[in-house]
Amino acid sequence: MTLWIDVSVKKLQLKLYDASVLLKTYPIAVGKVLTPTPTGNYIIINKELNPGGPFGALWMGLSKPHYGIHGTNDPSSIGKKVSQGCIRMHNEDVLELSSIVPTSTNVYIHK
């Protein structure tokens, strides 16, 4: 399997692919105007279950320091541009995604 993640800041979607095959699409929240989600190619470097605070059920850190894909304690924020730059997911979605992708998974973030 060649798993990778495609994040569309504009569409507020995270897609999971195996090579060129789309496996799953998730709704997300992204950074607001003053704290935009950084675009580029990154990898998942770590995972932390129940990180506390606003990060919901799980944190997956990216190779861009201080940024990650995580759950949320505010599910109404999903589908909006409201974060400090991280990618927010529903807790059940981030748990599912984390159970599928290993650390070192590529994450491509674009407009």
What mean pLDDT comes out for the span 86-93? 98
Pairing of strands 87-88, 68-70: parallel
How far is Cα 12 from Cα 94, in angstroms, rounded to an integer? Answer: 15
Question: 110 catalytic, yes or no?
Answer: no
Angle at 14 between CA 85 and CA 5, to 5 degrees: 95
| Block residue for tokens 């495609």 | 6
User: Of residues 66, 86, 90, 110, which has the active-site annotation?
Assistant: 86
Spatial CB neighbours of 44, under 8 Å, sequence gap ≥ 6: 5, 60, 61, 62, 63, 69, 101, 102, 103, 104, 105, 107
Please report the domains of the chain, with CATH numbers, ordered by start residue: 3-109 (2.40.440.10)
pTM of the model: 0.97
- Is 91 in a helix, a strand, or coil? helix
Q: What does the pLDDT average to over 55-63?
A: 98
pLDDT digits (tens, 9 = 90+) for 17-45: 999 999 999 999 999 999 999 999 999 99
Active site residue 70: yes
Given this model, what pLDDT does residue 17 score? 98
